[in-house]
Structure formats: structure tokens, C-alpha cells
A and B are shown apart, each in its own frame.
Chain A
């Protein structure tokens, strides 16, 4: 209520007592004021009958004055307000008190009008109620506004009640002063309970620390929008998304939405998204998604990287095409369109090159598929993968294969050209290739020889030996090197020398065996002839040395006998003839003996066990005892090793060399002979040195030849076979023999024998 209205409605206390002398002037003036008043003024008698009304009152009630004066005041009061009005009048009259009331009048046209009435009773001098004055103000508009406001408030409240967000209003101290039912339900409280709580009461303890800062922000007029952990009455916690602001009356309004589920889903989504990102990045898979309807192309970061497109750059299908190698654009465009027009029948699967700004070229494998609605492609999505490395590997493999094929061809050409039977085997030993020469020699196709079938063409006597040796070799044993007979297409078995070498990879593993068979049948024939010739020769030498000795012996003995019998009858010259006869026979005997020794050097088998060289030396010196005694030789023998050589051979060797050292002594100088041996790598080096006549450098090599002599038998007897025997024996044992000498000072004969 307007305070000025209230004052105006209060009737002057002294008014009734002043009605007297000047009443008519006063009444006129009063009338004039009343009529000009903005308020309606009506005077009614104690019965309620209108006595006076001003214009404004008529205006408010909608009745002409004349009509009003015929009515009683109660008659125009809205029925709903009558009881209240009547009661107030009664109390007013009874207690002589003015009162105010807001009530409705029913206007003449039947409509209701809200009025604010100040009602004052007027009494005469006797205190009798004379009339009732009503000052009436039209408050219809205000009332309407109030009602509209109330209605709006109610609607708003209903709305607030209905929405699923909790609405909280708290005062400046954080006490809840209002909340909708959702807010209460959300927290598990009744509204009343909620309104007895403060903001901190419903927050998770951990959230309290950031509360002051948030209040400060709200106080500054800011809007707060964030998540809070809230605690329900039962102690359970949920996440509320809060939007808060300060109301003009300094209260705080916050709208809270339970987003626990949404956050969980969001979290799950984010996790899933992150996982997808992680995987696609680790796998280096880029992905793209093309909304064809909106023509929006979305590329993953990796996708852009693969194309050399900046992350911030927008990508369109056209931009995509320009990022491709010029030669691949048309082809890729066709593949995309083909997929889009296929209605779902065909996927997009292609490898193309990207042409990056830095000039590098990358091979990309792209796959994708389109989504169709009523046969129209609306979306297409897929992945891209950098396959440059794979392409390079493939390329390298292709090159290697080509080179390998070329090298294989070269090998075959060579294998088919050389005059050998060439073959190869798998590491396990099965034959996987035989050259044309092989098949032609055997007269059957390769398929009849592969694996181990070739064994059918090996001479039965050789099969077991060859197979055993082959198994040994492929198992890592000694290199395969055998001689065997192979049946030719002419039915003749020929000798072959077969060799195989493994081809190893870098780690030393056998990848393949390569072998050759060399026809050695001619060699074998020659060998056989040689062996026979050798045998004949040996037999000849043996027979000769025996059979030729028989007559020689007779010549010697009978010339001796003759000399004994007829010596006295012969003259000097005849006796000399006889001695020629005898020395001739003697020389012949020596020759035959040495020749026999020479042939024997090849006949003795190699001993299995090593033999003490010192023992051979002792036997040799025994045999030379007469010569040693006669020459006065001094022989010094050092420590000698055990050697793997036949005793007879070694003895003969020593006998010849020491014998020579004695024989070729300087006249007048007693032989001084040293025999020693020392280890030299895998050999024993024997040395027999003397202080004899020595040998001229030009003859030092030749003296080992058969029948090679440097002196006449008058100077030094000898057959010229001794050193030849020595050389032959030493070489038989893979040794070497030579001499170092200084003529006039002595010689040293060296020979080596394997340890």
C-alpha cells in the first residue's frame, strides 16, 4: 500500500465537531475537493445506503451517481468478499475504528474491480453513527499484475518441480533457502531436511577446499560451471554438474545435474577413443571418415602425417587427390568412385604413392568401405597404412630373386658346358639337380636319377662305400672325395673321381652341396699300367738281384779257386787279368745288392706304431762296424725321436748317410760325424754332418739321382744308388732330403720325417 494513500485515507479526528457555522461554504469546498480527488469517495448511511459519491467512485463502480444513490453499499460488493467486508464494518462500527480493505466491487457491467478502501465511521455529537466514508482507490491493475506474477511464479515453480535438474538457492552464508523437489530427491533428503542444511553439508569432504574460491567467483558476478562430488543422505557419492550464479538479492542459485552416468560413459568413451588412438598410432594406421552428404572429410593426425599435410589444414577429397603421386591419381580416383558406385558390392582397397612436399615418396595401402542409404553412398571411411618398407623389401626380394635366377642360369650354363658330370644336393643329401652330361652319360632322364636313384648307376661293389662316405660328409665329416664306377649308357662302367663341396650361408650352415664327377677311367688305366709296369720292374729287379748273383758268385768263387790253384804258374800280367775278373764280379755284386735295396723301398708297408730312430741307428752302426774301425771315425749321436717309418728303411737311410760320411773322408783326416734331430713344426729334422771332402754346389742336387756318381770307383767305390734310395725312402714318407756342403770342409745331409 502506498504510504501517502494511507495518510490521505485517515480522516481528520476533529471533523465531526467542526460542522457548524460555516457548514455550507465548507460543504461546497469539500464537495469540490472530493469531486477532483483521484480517489473515489463515497458516504453511506449506517444502513449502507449511499448518500454521497464522487465522480471517481462512479467511474470505478461503473454506475451513474443516481443509480448508486439508490443502492446500498453491500449490493455492489463481490459476493466472495462480502462476509469479510461485513465483519470489518461491524467491528468498525462497534469499536469506532476506521479500517482498510482490499476487495472487489461488481461493476454495473458485471465485471469485478479490485479496490483499496479506507473506511472511516462518522459520528454525531451524541456519538451516534451518522455515516460511513469510504475512500476508494482502483487497484484493479495492481491486482491483475500481482495475480499474473503469482501465476507466473506458480508456473515457474511447477516447472522447477518438474525439471530433472536440482535447483538450489542458498543465502550468502551457504544456507539453503529454497530448492526444488528434484534437488531434494537427488540428495536423498526431504525438502524440509534439505532446507536445514548448508552447502558444505552435501559436498564430498575433498571438495571443500575449492569452495571459497567458487564463492568468490560467484560474488564477483561470475558464472560457475563445473563438476562437484556430492554426498547423499545415505553417504553415497555422485557427480553433479553445477551451474551457479548469484541472484540480485545476493542469494546463490545453482542448478545441479547428476552426471555420474554421463561422466562414466564419457570416461569410457574417452578411454575407448584413447585406446583406438593408441592402437592406430602404434600400428601406424591412419584413419579417415568422409561424410559424403555434408562433404566433410575427417582425417586422423597420422593420416595427415602420411600425406605430408599440416595438422591444421582442412582436407577435402580434392586435396587428397593432389597429395597423391601424379601417376596414381586417376587410378585412385577410379577406385574410390568404383566403391561408391558399387552399392556396397565392392570395397575400396588400393596401394598408391603419396607425393610429400619434401619430395619423398611413400607407398600407402588404403582400405575402406562406404555406407549406403537407399543405394546412395552417404559415408565412406577407412584406414591408411604406410607400406613403403614392405614394398622396398618386396622390391629387394624381386631383385635378389632375379639375380639368383641369373646366377642359377649361369651355374647351369657352366654346369652343362664343362666336361664333367655336375650335380647338386640338398643339405639332407638328396640329389636335386644333375647336369645334361650326367643324364646323357647315364642315358636316362634326370627324374630317374634324382634323390638317391643315381646309386642304381653306381657299380654294386662301390655303392656301400660311396653311400657311407656320402653320409659321413653330409653329417659334417670330411669333404666328399671318392672314386667310383658309374654305368654309362653304353653298358660300360667307367671310373669317376667324385668331389662335393658344401655351399655355406653366412652362419656357416650348409645350404646346398655342389659336386662334380670327373671321368678318370683313362687315368685309372694308366695307373693300372703303371702299377703293372712297376710290379714288373720290381720283379725284374728282384729276380735280377737274385738270379744274376748266382753266376756272379760262381765267377767270384771259381776265379778265387783258380787263383789259388794256378797262381804259381801265372805271370804278373795274367794275375792282374784275374784280379780284374774278380773286382768286376765284386762291383757287379754290389750293384745288384743296392739295386735290390732300392726296389725294396717301395715294397715295405708303413708301420702303424712309431719306431725309435735310435735303434735303427744302432743297427746301422753295427753294419758299418768294419768301415768305422778301418777309418777311425768318431760318431756322435744325439737324442733321436721315435718316428713312424719302417725300421729297415730308417736303418738303410742311416747306413747310407753315415756310410757316405765315412767313405768320402779327406785323406789323412779321421771322420768326425754328428747325428742329431730336432722338431721343426710338424716334422723331425735329422742332420748327419761330417768333416769330409764336401760337395761342389753344382752337384748338390744331382747326387740324389740314380746311378749318379761324382768319383771313379778307383777313387771311391760306390754304385750311385745309395742316395737315390735315401731320397726315394724319405719322399715316400712325405719327407725331404737335401745337402748343404762346403767343399774341403764337410757336408751336412738333412732329411725330414713327419711327426
Chain B
């Protein structure tokens, strides 16, 4: 979930570069994310994401609120979440940790650094390197 197109490109690039075979669904704001969750909830055939990359500074509904909602949906209770954010604040890190996230990736301002998101995701998904995100 990412509202910034520039970052969406970089995330795609990092995942592609890490050779992860995944269906990548992008939602651009908090309410859209909730909608996505709801529809997935109602449709048993809808895919359950293996991993959610979550930007905290989302329009309409911020990342923390979304995380709370997410944990209230039974199907997603165990979904892996990696927070991807430009915030380096202690407060945000602690809030995220409290809601049970698998990783915290601070968006760097260096291209090469950004590409390190790929190996991180890959490590979380396991060796197969494919799934829904």
C-alpha cells in the first residue's frame, strides 16, 4: 500500500530485482486498502496476501489504523506486514511493533539502499520467492 507513484516504482523495481515471483496489488490510500480487505473477505476465492508492504503515511486512513483493522479480520490475522515508511521516529516504530509487524523498512534516499527492500521481502517469504503482496 503506497500512495507515492515514485515509491511504487522503486518497490516494484526492488522486488523484480530480487527475482521474487509475486502478484503485486497496489492500493493508494487507507480506505482503498480497507475496501480491498473487505472484498477479499467476502470472496473466498479472492487471494490472501502473503505479505503486505505498508506505508504509514497514507491519505484518508493512516497505516496504523489500517493495521488495527487488518488484525480484526480473522483471515489476515497472521498476514506478514512490513512497514515501509520515510518516518524514522521512535513513536512510529513502537506503534508498529505493538501491532505485530514482521519488518520495518525506512525508505532511504539512496537508490542502491532502496533496492535492499527486495532481499528483505525475499527472506520473509521464504526461499520460494513467490506469493501475493
Binding site for B on A (CB under 8 A): 546-547, 549-550, 552-554, 556-558, 560-561, 564, 585, 589
| Pairwise interchain contact B6-A556, C-beta atoms closer than 8 A | no
Complex alpha-carbon distance, A585 and B110, angstroms = 11
Contact of B111 among A546, A550, A560, A585 (CB under 8 A): A560
Q: Is B87 an interface residue (CB 8 A)?
A: yes
Interface residues in B12-59 by Cβ distance below 8 A to A read 57
| Interface pair B109/A589, CB less than 8 Å apart | yes
Q: A556-B109, A564-B111, A589-B109 are in contact. Are A550 and B10 (CB under 8 A)?
A: no
Please name the residue on chain B nearest to A547 by beta carbon.
Answer: B57
Given contacts A546-B86, A549-B86, contact A557 B4 (CB under 8 A): no
Tell me the complex Cα distance, A550–B5, Å: 12
Instruction: Establish whether residues A556 and B87, one from each chain, have CB atoms under 8 Å apart when the complex forms.
Output: no
Q: How far is the CB of A428 from the nearest CB of chain B, in Å? A: 51
Distance in Å: Cβ of B89 to nearest Cβ of chain A: 8
Knowing A546-B87, A549-B86, the reply to whether A554 touches B6 (Cβ < 8 A) is yes
A553 to B111 CA separation, bound complex (whole angstroms):
9
Interface residues of B in 75-132 (CB under 8 A from A): 86-87, 89, 107-111, 114
Q: Separation in Å of the A289 CB from the closest CB of chain B?
A: 105
Selected from B4, B87, B89, B110, the residue in CB contact (under 8 A) with A554 is B4
Which of A547, A550, A564 has the most CB atoms of chain B within a 10 A radius of its CB?
A: A550
Most chain-A CB neighbours within 10 Å: which of B4, B7, B10, B111? B111
Contact between B114 and A550, CB atoms less than 8 A apart = no
Residues of A within 8 A of B109 (CB): 549, 552-553, 556-557, 585, 589
Contacts A552-B109, A557-B6, A558-B6 given; 9 further ones with Cβ under 8 A?
A546-B86, A546-B89, A547-B57, A549-B86, A556-B109, A557-B10, A557-B109, A557-B110, A585-B109
In the complex, what distance in Å separates the CA atom of A305 from the CA atom of B38? 121
| Contact status A556-B110, CB under 8 Å | yes
Chain A residues within 8 Å of B4, by CB: 550, 554
Q: Give every chain B residue within 8 A of A546 (Cβ-Cβ).
A: 57, 86-87, 89
CB-CB nearest in chain A for B7: A554
Contacts of A554 in B (CB 8 A): 4, 6-7
Q: A552 to chain B: which residues have CB within 8 Å?
A: 109
B13 to chain A: closest residue by CB? A561
| Chain A residues, Cβ within 8 Å of B86 | 546, 549-550, 553
Chain B residues within an 8 Å CB radius of A560: 110-111
Say how far B62's CB is from chain A's closest CB, in angstroms.
12
* Chain B contacts for A561, CB-based, 8 A: 111
CB distance from A560 to the nearest CB of B (A): 5
- Closest residue of chain B to A550 (Cβ to Cβ) is B86
B interface, CB within 8 angstroms of A: 4, 6-7, 10, 57, 86-87, 89, 107-111, 114
In this complex, the member of B86, B110, B114 whose beta carbon has the largest number of chain A beta carbons within 10 angstroms is: B86
C-alpha gap A619/B82 in the complex (Å): 28
Which chain B positions have C-beta within 8 A of A550?
Answer: 4, 57, 86
A558 cross-chain contacts in B, Cβ below 8 A: 6
Bound together, the chains give a CA A553 to CA B108 distance in angstroms of 7
Q: Which listed residue, A547, A557, A585, A589, touches B114 by the CB 8 Å rule? A: A557
Chain A residues near B114 (CB, 8 Å)?
A: 557
In chain B, what residue has the closest Cβ to A554?
A: B6
Q: Taking CB as reference atom, which chain A residue is nearest B108?
A: A553
Q: Is the CB of B87 within 8 A of A553?
A: no
Please tell me which one of the listed residues B57, B89, B107 contacts residue A553 in the complex, with CB atoms under 8 A apart: B107
Instruction: Tell me whether B111 and A557 are in contact (CB under 8 A).
Output: yes
Bound-complex Cα distance A556 to B111 (A): 8
List 11 contacting pairs A-B, 8 Å CB cutoff, sorted by A: A546-B57, A550-B57, A550-B86, A553-B108, A556-B109, A557-B6, A557-B10, A557-B109, A557-B110, A560-B111, A564-B111
A593 to B, closest residue via Cβ: B88
Q: Bound state CA distance, A651 and B74, in angstroms?
A: 44
Q: A557 contacts which chain B residues (CB < 8 A)?
A: 6, 10, 109-111, 114
Task: Give the distance in Å from the alpha carbon of A585 to the alpha carbon of B111 in the complex.
Answer: 14
A residues in contact with B110, CB < 8 Å: 556-557, 560
Taken together as a complex, chains A and B put the C-alpha atoms of A554 and B6 apart, in Å, by: 7
Distance between B64 CB and nearest chain A CB, rounded to angstroms: 15
Task: Give Cα A554–Cα B109 distance, bound, in whole angstroms.
Answer: 7
- A549 to chain B: which residues have CB within 8 Å? 86, 109
Within the assembled complex, what's the spacing in Å between the Cα atoms of A564 and B114? Answer: 15
How far is it, in angstroms, between the C-alpha of A724 and the C-alpha of B108 when the chains are bound? 27
CA gap between A549 and B110 in the complex, in Å:
12
Rounded to whole angstroms, the CA-CA distance of A585 and B10 in the bound complex is 18
User: Contacts of B111 on A, CB cut-off 8 Å?
Assistant: 557, 560-561, 564
Residue numbers in A under 8 Å from B107 (CB-CB): 553
CA gap between A585 and B4 in the complex, in Å: 18
Closest to A556 in B: B109
CB-CB under 8 A from A589, the residues of chain B are: 109
User: Which residues of A are found within 8 Å of B89, using beta-carbon distances?
Assistant: 546
Please give, as numbers and ranges, the residues of chain A lying within 8 Å of B6 by CB-CB distance.
554, 557-558
| A106–B58 CA distance with the chains assembled, in angstroms | 187
Residue of B whose beta carbon sits closest to that of A648:
B90
The 5 closest A-B pairs by CB, nearest first: A553-B109, A554-B6, A556-B109, A560-B111, A557-B111
Compute how far the CA of A549 lies from the CA of B7 in the bound complex, rounded to whole angstroms.
13
A321 CA to B110 CA, complexed, in Å: 120
The chain A residue with its CB closest to the CB of B92 is A546
Chain B contacts for A553, CB-based, 8 A: 86, 107-109
Q: How far, in whole Å, are A441 and B68 apart by their CA atoms in the complex?
A: 54
CA distance A46 to B104 in the complex (A): 199
- Residues of B within 8 Å of A564, CB to CB, are 111
- How far does the alpha carbon of A549 sit from the alpha carbon of B57 in the complex, in Å? 13
Closest to B6 in A: A554
Of all chain A residues, which has the CB nearest B114?
A: A557
Report the bound CA distance from A261 to B110 in whole Å: 135
Q: B7 — which chain A residues lie within 8 A by C-beta?
A: 554
A559 CA to B32 CA in the complex, in Å?
31
Q: Give the CA-CA distance A200 to B56 in the complex, in Å.
A: 140
Closest B residue to A546 by beta carbon equals B87
| Measured CA separation A552–B111 after assembly (Å) | 13
Shortest distance from the beta carbon of B110 to any chain A beta carbon, whole Å:
7
Give the complex CA separation of A585 and B109 in angstroms. Answer: 10
Most B-side CB within 10 Å, residue of A549, A564, A585, A589: A549
Which residue, of A554, A556, A585, A589, has the highest number of chain B Cβ atoms within 10 A? Answer: A554
Minimum CB–CB distance for B55 against chain A, Å: 10
Question: In the assembled complex, how far is the CB of residue B118 from the closest CB belonging to chain A, in whole angstroms?
Answer: 15
Residues of A within 8 A of B108 (CB): 553
Shortest Cβ distance from A390 into chain B, in angstroms? Answer: 80
Q: Closest CB-CB distance, B9 to chain A, in whole Å?
A: 9
Nearest-Cβ distance from residue B31 to partner chain A, whole angstroms: 20
A593 to chain B, nearest CB (A): 9
B85 (CB) vs chain A CBs: closest residue? A546
Interfacial chain B residues near A556, Cβ < 8 Å: 109-110
Tell me the complex Cα distance, A554–B4, Å. 9
Report the Cα distance A308→B60, complex, angstroms. 111
Interface centre among A546, A549, A553, A561 (most CB of B within 10 A): A553
Q: How far is the CA of A552 from the CA of B86 in the complex (A)?
A: 11
